[in-house]
């Protein structure tokens, strides 16, 4: 598409970002997930242009259980959508992360697996780690299902 | 577009236009045949000088100006910068500058710099549909006002201002205040006679009118006191030094000639297509809004907001589907702030992040408009399905 001299035209972000933006994983289409969740967290504001909400289902022991399901919704740009999508994959890898492990995910880890992001986009579009921490805290406080 | 990327439909003519093949043909001899420097005394120099003079006459005719009022520049940004910095430089006093709240950044940022240098900068608001608040403007113009700058047709929302009315209002309050307009988006479709518009300075360029990028013009009315913009070899009557770019100047004049010739027909043709998109969106996409006045707008401009959508996502999904459009979303801007133009309309930031500009042009046809209108609801739906708000 739009080739000049058969050269491939570059995309805005990395190929990994493109893949997750075009084919987002684990997003929630409706108001909330169709499965039973026990933690939810939200960060961002419409005014800033990015809002992320993450739902999780934690199984096993209360203090350091395993996240077996995760769903998300994101209002934001392509890098915001891709970063939440890839975070959901990171969490579910190898049968699901423990909550302790998930809490240690930093924005820079997400950026790394995405194959990098423009510097100015990191602060605003990678908020998934914070939404996830909020969801885990929400679970730990035991506010189940009804937020 | 008239190129080989057949599967891409271009709806971003307000960003830039492809160069018309007739313009390419007109420029052709000036790259290597007529190649002299118009300042040279010899044959090749005089040959180039003759063409330059001829183009200046033609340019002047196209906008109802005198030849000594035409200054060729490198484009709209330079012309706007020159108008602002040039006018304040000669006034000698730290007077007041008034700009509208929906100016292009090449007016807005120079104004910000002048404010830092001690000038008073007043930003005249617009109403909800983007028309300059004339009462407020009248209040703002005073004895101290050096310059008022109002964009003729806004680049994002396409709203067209009544320059003649604004000019009369300014001159009534202070006949010594200069009135500058940025007319870059206007030349294809609107009145361009500087006398009828009542402007003292007018910026325009070629890259929005199917001419080459990198060339523009500043009309400066005879008698206006303005400082030179570039110093050096003394070209453009010592106001804007630098060897004249003859091929680009020839291209610009040719492009504007064509644009003026077909202006009326093209305006009606595009207005129909514009209104078709707007009505289909209103009918088929809930919570969608047209930004800017529905009538006083460029015939090629559609600017919409979709609640719950972020603009960059919309643009990139549409891009993947083969449509080139643009957005006023923060994420597309270098400063991460949503468009100051949309915020000036009183729009909430959340909605300003979800704007989409669809701009039509010479190679837009009904089939393309239908294809875009067919695809748009699905894309908006996809983004909304993922959206957390």
**ipTM of the complex, rounded to two decimals:** 0.92
Residue A142 has pLDDT above 90, yes or no: no
Residues forming a β-bridge with B149: B99, B180
Q: Clarify whether residues B71 and B217 are in a common domain.
A: yes
Does residue B1 fall inside a structural domain? no
Residues of A labelled as active-site residues: 48, 124
Report how far apart the first and last C-alpha atoms of chain A are (Å, whole number): 46
Q: Domain check: are B267 and B311 in the same one?
A: yes
The domain boundary residue, chosen from B223, B239, B257? B257
User: In three state form, how does the secondary structure of chain B look?
Assistant: CCCCCCCCEECECCCCCCCCHHHHHHHCHHHHCCCCCCCCCCHHHHHHHHHHHHHHHHHHHHCCCCHHHEEEECCHHHHHHHHHHHHHHHHCCCCEEEEECCCCHHHHHHHHHHHHCCCEEEEECECCCCCECHHHHHHHCCCCEEEEECCCECCCCCEECCHHHHHHHHHHHCCCCEEEEECCCCCCCCCCCHHHHCCCEEEEECCCCCCCCCCEEEEECCCCCCCCCECCCCHHHHCECCCCCHHHHHHHHHHHHHHHHHHHHHHHHHHHHHHHHHHHHHHHCCCEEECCCCCCECCCEEEEEECCCCHHHHHHHHHHCCEECECCCHHHCCCCCCCHHHHHCCCCHHHHCCEEEEECCCCCCHHHHHHHHHHHHHHHHHHHHHCCC
Give chain B's domain count: 2
Which pLDDT score is estimated for B2?
A: 44
What is the distance between the alpha carbons of residues B263 and B210, in angstroms, rounded to a whole number? 13
- Same domain flag for B63 and B137: yes
Give pLDDT tens digits for B359-371. Answer: 999 999 999 999 9
CA-CA distance, B202 to A19, in Å (whole number)?
46
Confidence of residue B336 (pLDDT cuts 50, 70, 90): low
Residue B331 is predicted with a pLDDT of 61
**Residue B2 covered by a domain:** no
Q: Which domains does chain A have, with CATH numbers?
A: 25-140 (3.90.1010.10)
CATH number at residue B267: 3.90.1150.10
Q: Is pLDDT of B136 > 90?
A: yes
At residue A147, does pLDDT exceed 50? Answer: no
Contacts of B329 in chain A (CB under 8 A): 49, 77
Q: What is the pLDDT of residue A16?
A: 96
Confidence bin at B350 (pLDDT 50/70/90): confident
One domain, residues B106 and B199? yes
Cβ–Cβ pairs < 8 A, chains A and B: 79
Q: pLDDT tens, B56-88?
A: 999 999 999 999 999 999 999 999 999 999 999
Residue B6 — pLDDT band, cuts 50, 70, 90? low
Give ∠ CA B289-A20-A5 in degrees, rounded to 5: 90
Q: Is the predicted pLDDT of residue A146 greater than 50, yes or no?
A: no
Q: Which domain holds residue B299?
A: 9-19+263-386
Residue B5: pLDDT over 60? no
For residue B252, give the CATH number of its domain.
3.40.640.10
The reply to whether B26 and B15 lie within a common domain is no
Flag whether B324 is in a domain: yes
Q: Mutate which of A49, A117, A124, A127 to disrupt the B interface (most B C-beta within 10 Å)?
A: A49
What distance in Å separates residue B337's CA from the closest CA in chain A? 8
Q: Is the separation of the CB atoms in A25 and A89 below 8 Å?
A: yes
User: What is the pLDDT at residue B203?
Assistant: 98
Let me know whether B100 and B201 are in one domain.
Answer: yes
Are residues B14 and B64 located together in one domain of the fold? no
In the predicted structure, residue B176 carries a pLDDT above the cut 80: yes
Share of chain B above pLDDT 90, in %: 91
Interfacial residues of B (vs A; Cβ cutoff 8 Å):
5, 7-8, 308-313, 316, 320, 322, 329-331, 334, 336, 338, 348-350, 353, 385-389
pLDDT of residue A119: 85
Residue B3 lies in a domain: no
pLDDT of residue A133: 96
Q: Chain B: give the shortest CA distance to residue A80, in Å.
A: 9
Residues B142 and B58 in one domain: yes
pLDDT at position B334 over 70: no
Average pLDDT of B124-136? Answer: 98
Are B114 and B77 contained in the same domain? yes
Provide the pLDDT for residue A2. Answer: 45
Same domain flag for B247 and B289:
no
Q: What is the chain A residue with the closest CA to B331? A: A77
Residues B247 and B271 in one domain: no
**Is residue B3's pLDDT more than 60?**
no
Name the average pLDDT for chain B.
95
Q: How far is B327 from chain A (nearest CA, A)?
A: 11
What pLDDT is stored for residue B294 in this prediction? Answer: 96
Looking at residue A72, what is its pLDDT?
97
CB contact under 8 A, A47 and B389: no
Beta strands at B355-359 and B301-306: parallel, antiparallel or unpaired: antiparallel
Does one domain contain both B279 and B356? yes
Contact A75 B389 (CB under 8 A): yes
Mean pLDDT, chain A, integer: 89
Nearest residue in B to A42, CA atom: B388
Of B202, B234, B257, which residue is a domain's last?
A: B257
Distance, in Å, from the CA atom of A40 to the CA atom of A42, rounded to the nearest integer, reads 7
Query: Cβ separation of A51 and B388 shorter than 8 Å?
Result: yes
- pLDDT of B48 over the 60 cut: yes
Is the confidence at residue A17, as pLDDT, over 90?
yes
Q: Do B7 and A53 touch (CB under 8 A)?
A: no
Domain assignment present for B378: yes
Indicate which of A76, A79, A118, A131 best probes the interface with B, i.e. most B CBs within 10 Å of its own CB: A76
Residues of B in contact with A125 (CB under 8 A): 331
**pLDDT > 70: what percent of chain B?**
97
Known catalytic residue at B324: no
Which of B202, B232, B257 is at the close of a domain? B257
Q: What is the mean pLDDT of residues B303-328?
A: 94
Asked, for residue B98, whether it belongs to a domain, the answer is: yes
Would you call A73 and B388 a contact, using CB atoms and an 8 Å cutoff? yes
Q: Name which of A1, A21, A74 is nearest B316 (Cβ-Cβ).
A: A21
Would B92 be classed as within a structural domain? yes
Locate the chain B residue with the closest alpha carbon to A121: B331
- The reported pLDDT for the residue numbered A13 is 93
Cβ contact B389:B308 at 8 Å: yes
Closest Cα in chain A, distance from residue B334 (Å): 8
> What per-residue confidence (pLDDT) applies to A6?
66
Within chain A, residue ranges assigned H as helices are 15-22, 78-92, 99-103, 107-113, 119-125, 128-140
Within-domain flag for B128: yes
Name the residue of chain B whose CA is nearest to A78's CA. Answer: B313
pLDDT-wise least confident of A102-111, A123-132, A138-147, B205-214: A138-147
Q: Which pLDDT does position A3 carry in this prediction?
A: 53
């Amino acid at each position: 598409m739009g080739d000049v001299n058969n050269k491939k035209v570059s995309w805005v972000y990395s190929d990994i970002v493109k893949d997750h933006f075009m084919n987002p994983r684990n997003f929630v289409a409706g108001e909330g997930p169709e499965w039973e969740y026990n933690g939810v967290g939200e960060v961002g504001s419409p005014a800033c242009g990015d809002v992320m909400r993450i739902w999780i289902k934690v199984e096993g022991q209360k203090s350091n259980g395993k996240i077996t399901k995760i769903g998300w919704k994101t209002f934001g740009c392509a890098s915001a959508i891709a970063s939440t999508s890839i975070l959901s994959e990171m969490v579910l890898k190898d049968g699901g992360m423990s909550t302790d492990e998930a809490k240690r995910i930093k924005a820079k880890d997400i950026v790394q697996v995405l194959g990098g992001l423009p510097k100015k986009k990191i602060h605003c579009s990678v908020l998934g780690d914070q939404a996830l921490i909020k969801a885990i805290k929400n679970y730990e406080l035991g506010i189940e299902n009804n937020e | 577009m008239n190129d080989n990327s057949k599967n891409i439909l271009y709806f971003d003519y307000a960003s830039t236009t492809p160069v018309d093949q007739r313009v390419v043909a007109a420029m052709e001899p000036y790259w290597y045949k007529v190649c002299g420097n118009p300042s040279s005394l010899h044959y090749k120099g005089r040959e180039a000088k003759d063409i330059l003079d001829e183009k200046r006459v033609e340019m002047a005719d196209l906008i109802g100006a005198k030849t000594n009022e035409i200054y060729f520049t490198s484009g709209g940004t330079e012309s706007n910068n020159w108008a602002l910095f040039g006018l304040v430089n000669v006034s000698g006093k730290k007077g007041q500058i008034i700009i509208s709240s929906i100016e292009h950044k090449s007016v807005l940022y120079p104004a910000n710099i002048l404010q830092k240098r001690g000038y008073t900068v007043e930003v005249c608001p617009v109403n909800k549909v983007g028309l300059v608040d004339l009462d407020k403007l009248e209040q703002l113009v005073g004895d101290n006002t050096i310059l008022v700058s109002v964009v003729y047709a806004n680049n994002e929302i396409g709203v067209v201002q009544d320059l003649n009315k604004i000019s009369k209002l300014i001159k009534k309050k202070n006949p010594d205040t200069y009135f500058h307009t940025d007319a870059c988006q206007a030349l294809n479709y609107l009145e361009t006679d500087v006398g009828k518009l009542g402007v003292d300075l007018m910026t325009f360029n070629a890259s929005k009118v199917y001419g080459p990028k990198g060339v523009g013009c500043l009309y400066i009315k005879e008698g206006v006191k303005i400082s030179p913009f570039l110093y050096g070899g003394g070209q453009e009557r010592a106001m804007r030094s630098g060897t004249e770019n003859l091929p680009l100047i020839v291209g610009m004049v040719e492009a504007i000639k064509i644009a003026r010739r077909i202006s009326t027909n093209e305006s009606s043709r595009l207005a129909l297509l514009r209104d078709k998109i707007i009505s289909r969106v209103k009918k088929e996409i809930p919570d969608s809004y047209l930004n800017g006045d529905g009538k006083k707008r460029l015939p090629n401009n559609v600017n919409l907001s979709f609640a719950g959508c972020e603009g960059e996502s919309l643009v990139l999904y549409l891009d993947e589907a083969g449509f080139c459009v643009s957005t006023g979303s923060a994420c597309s801007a270098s400063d991460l702030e949503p468009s100051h133009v949309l915020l000036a309309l009183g729009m909430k930031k959340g909605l300003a992040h979800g704007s989409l500009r669809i701009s039509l042009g010479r190679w837009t046809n009904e089939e393309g408009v239908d294809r875009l209108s067919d695809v748009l609801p699905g894309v908006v739906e996809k983004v909304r399905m993922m959206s957390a708000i």
